[in-house]
Amino acid sequence: MTSWQIITKVKKIGKWNKIFLTILWGWTLLLITTPYLLPENSTGDLSGTVGKYDNKEIINKMNPISKIIYYLGDVNCHQLSERSYEYNKNQMSFCTRDIGIFVGLAIGFSYALRKRIELTLPLIIISLIPIGLDGTIQLFTDYESTNPKRIITGLIAGGSTGVALKIIADSLDRK
């Protein structure tokens, strides 16, 4: 498919599909590139608690874009350093499982733009089993998941949720 065919394909999708697509990929790209917007070694260990603004001192020294992304990560994710990837010698703003979910959302939505997928309750449940098992077993036992497993389970859950968002966007475009 040529770039012109891609552009004309994008023009044929509805307004809400374009909005969702822009937000999902914009957010995903911001998450992935934010560690590069900071000087090397400027985040340190961001490990903290979900729902708490743990890293004020570090985040307040960042540029405005990084400050927003890292603030959102700080209050919405545990950011445990051993469960987070590091780029440019900076810990990412969200853990690997959350990054997998966000990337999966964008990929799932994009895939659903090209293919009509019938999303059924059994399919949703099946797609959430890996993330549910990995997280729950880790919570209640000595089992410690790995970052590759976290990314994969996040991608699966995010991908099916991305398809669901596409269905929602389609229904909004029909109104």
Cβ-contact 133, 157 below 8 angstroms:
no
- Write down the pTM of the prediction: 0.88
Q: What residues have CB less than 8 Å from 65, skipping those under 6 apart?
A: 30, 34, 37
Say whether pLDDT at 109 is over 90. Answer: yes
CA distance 162 to 164: 5
Mean pLDDT score, 6-27: 82
Tokens of 37: 């917007």
If pLDDT is split at 50, 70 and 90, which confidence band does 4 have?
Answer: low
CA distance 96 to 26: 18
Whole-number pLDDT of residue 115: 82
Q: How many residues does the chain have?
A: 175
CA 154/CA 127 separation, integer angstroms: 10
The pLDDT of residue 130 is above 60: yes
Residue 134 has pLDDT above 70, yes or no: yes
Smallest Cα–Cα separation from 72: which of 99, 110, 44?
99
Q: Where are the domains of the chain?
A: 14-174
pLDDT at residue 133 tops 60: yes
Residue range 44-97, pLDDT digits in tens: 999 999 999 999 999 999 999 999 999 999 999 999 999 999 999 999 999 999
